[in-house]
Amino acid sequence: MTANGTLAPRMHGGRVDWVDYAKGICIIMVVMMHSVLGVEAAAGQTSFMHYVVEFARPFRMPDFFLISGLFLSVVIDRGWRTYLDRKVVHFAYFYVLWVTIQFAFKAPSFAAEMGWAGVAKLYALSFIDPFGTLWFIYLLPIFFVVTKLTRRLPPLLIWGVAALLESLHVATGWMVPDEFCARFFYFYTGYLFARHVFAFSDAARARPALALFGLAVWAVVNAVLVHVGAADLPVISLLLGLAGACAIITVGTLLAEKRWLDGLRFCGEHSIVIYLAFFLPMAISRSLLLKYAPFLDLGVIAIIVNIAGVVGALIIWKLAMKSGATFLFERPDAFWIAPRKQATRLQAAE
């Protein structure tokens, strides 16, 4: 039982199920966005899946960042060496590794456009301005460090400044400042109000009928605001981000309680694995389907590419673990600056 008398959340392997369900929904939506937009760009036209991607745009990344901040209070008071190892070096290792892997695959096409000197310049720039799909794990360490550095300041002041930055819709053209301003509010909200987030999940679990009604109202409001073009307006974007995060938390809670779609929980448990590796099966399946199955509806192709990206990434992970290429998803001893944790795999440190 929880402190307020509700049943405790379901757990799996020491992890909170609804958190992994929510993360599973988020990572599938992220892969969906890249899959749908990539297929549409290659085909030169939009599909029905474009509307699904647009519906998810206000809350897709806000929810991911909010959940990323949920457990920070447990570790934020650790010494700097351990903290930097877990929250900076960890993600830096995988960013450097996977940006290099991505460039290895994409370099020939880049070279055809800008020459090999241009490829080298773009690769060097990727360590200042994060490359492609990898910006999330580039930005997370910055959020972790900023939150620790400011933990002695009034939390509501930091939260208010973060809300203001989100509402300003900063657009410098550089990914780090732009995404920091757009996303830090949600990360800090997860950190600052973690107890309230878990209480919200408890409430949804205790009153499923009311939770479902709330989800229906939210879906209509979100869809209408996206349709009329108001979702990107200052303040409204912030409120839609928070409302969408609450909706995904609610869905994750209800699914976890019923043990439905358990594959979502598995995807959430391995969300960073999927995030790192989905680009390759996504790109391959997109090229093959557009070339050899043009008779399929473009939206159907996008759905298949989405599935291929998620499943393909998990297959790559499994093969890496079985073949000894564990360095792809598990940080080697040489890249630890603090005593190694007993559980070392990538998903254990999310």
Per-residue pLDDT of 176-197, as tens digits, reads 999 999 999 999 999 999 999 9
Mean per-residue pLDDT, 47-62: 96
Any domain includes 268: yes
Please give the pLDDT value at position 1. 45
Per-residue confidence band for 260, with pLDDT thresholds at 50, 70 and 90: confident
Q: Is the residue at 2 inside a domain?
A: no
Distance from C-alpha of 170 to C-alpha of 153, rounded to nearest angstrom: 24
On whether the CB atoms of residues 12 and 20 are closer than 8 A, the answer is: yes
Residue 99 lies in a domain: yes
Scan for tokens 């745009």, then name that residue: 57
Let me know if residue 326 belongs to a domain: yes
What is the domain count for the chain? 1
Residue 280 included in any domain? yes
What is the C-alpha separation between 15 and 273, in angstroms, rounded?
17
In a domain, 4, yes or no: no
Please state the rounded mean pLDDT for residues 129-141.
93
Q: How confident is the model at residue 345 (pLDDT cuts 50, 70, 90)?
A: very low
| Alpha-carbon gap, residue 210 to 152, rounded angstroms | 39
The yes-or-no verdict on residue 46 having pLDDT over 90 is: yes
pLDDT value of residue 11:
67
Residue 15: predicted pLDDT:
87
- Taking the whole predicted model, whether its pTM rises above 0.85 is answered as yes
- Could you tell me the two tokens for 268? 């959430």
Whole-number pLDDT of residue 132? 85
Compute the average pLDDT of residues 284-297. 95
pLDDT for residue 13 is more than 70: no
Query: Does the residue 192 lie in any domain?
Result: yes
Is residue 187 domain-resident? yes
Determine the Cα–Cα distance for residues 253 and 211; give it in Å rounded to an integer. 10
Residue type, 175: M
Ramachandran angles phi, psi of 16, nearest 5°? -80, 120
pLDDT tier at 298, thresholds 50, 70, 90? very high
The domain in which residue 32 lies consists of: 11-349
| Residue 16 DSSP one-character state | E
pLDDT at position 110: 87
Q: Which residues contact 46 (CB under 8 A, 6 or more apart)?
A: 40, 298
Per-residue confidence (pLDDT) for residue 4, from 0 to 100: 42
CB 274 within 8 A of CB 256: no
If one compares 259 and 230, the residue with the highest pLDDT of the two is: 230
